[in-house]
Structure 1
Amino acid sequence: MTKHHLIPRALHNKPRYRKRYSREERLTAILWLCHACHRHIHRLYSERELADQFASREALLASEEIRHFVEWLSKKPAGFKPKSRRPKR
């Protein structure tokens, strides 16, 4: 399991996010995710998109791409590790 900061740490000191979220919110807004899900989230969205649009568990699961991946992964056997694909850039 890995810690996913819902408000990315790189943005914690930016004025825009200091106004929007309290210090405690910035430090404690964390989800525990498996490595595959964590990699998938960061492959899909930039840090700014994560902080602006996906700063909650509900918002992440509302994303069709994330929800589809989680459903797909949940059907795999325990210990399954998806092959990483290079980002399309």
Structure 2
Amino acid sequence: MVSKRALRGTDPLGYVPPPGPLFCPLCGRPLEPGPSVDEHHLVPRSQGGKVKMLIHRICHRKIHATLSERDLARGFNTWAALQAHPDIATFVHWVANKPSAFYDNSRRPASRR
């Protein structure tokens, strides 16, 4: 019998990161464990999403600064669709030569505040 204590600290979806180096699915740069890494839901939790993946914090902030949760759920719920968005494609090209722990603030445009 499994007790609640044995289940604490485990992911309910059973996500176990693969062994070896991890890479950001958006920009392709290596992920270094620490404050520069976030978890991202491809479909936002508010829209019913459950699956989450590790991604650079700067990439995560850019996604949410560019697209609303509704847009993410409807048309940008795959990495290929996100990379095809013009603003995000420009960002990925820009961040490609930055170190993996690089971070810069991404602000929402004034029209979306």
- Summarize deviations over 1:28-82 as a string: whole Å, max 9, x none: 2x33210111001101111000000101111111111111101101112343222
The answer to whether the 8 A contact 1:31-1:57 is kept is: no
TM-score (norm 2): 0.58
- AA matched with 2:69: E
Question: Offset of 1:86 from its aligned partner?
Answer: 5.3
Match of 1:9 in 2: 45
Q: Structure 2 regions of 5+ residues with no counterpart?
A: 1-36
Q: Structure 1 regions of 5+ residues with no counterpart?
A: 13-25
RMSD: 1.7
Higher helix fraction: Structure 1 or Structure 2? 1
Q: Secondary structure at the match of 1:72?
A: helix
Q: Using the alignment, how far apart are the partners of 1:8 and 1:63 within structure 2?
A: 18
1:1-89 alignment runs, 5 A limit: 1-12=37-48, 26-28=49-51, 30-85=52-107, 87-89=109-111
Higher relative contact order (CA 8 A, sep 6+): 1
Larger of the two Rg values belongs to structure? 2
Size of the alignment, in residue pairs?
75
Q: Secondary structure at the match of 2:110?
A: coil
- AA matched with 1:58: A
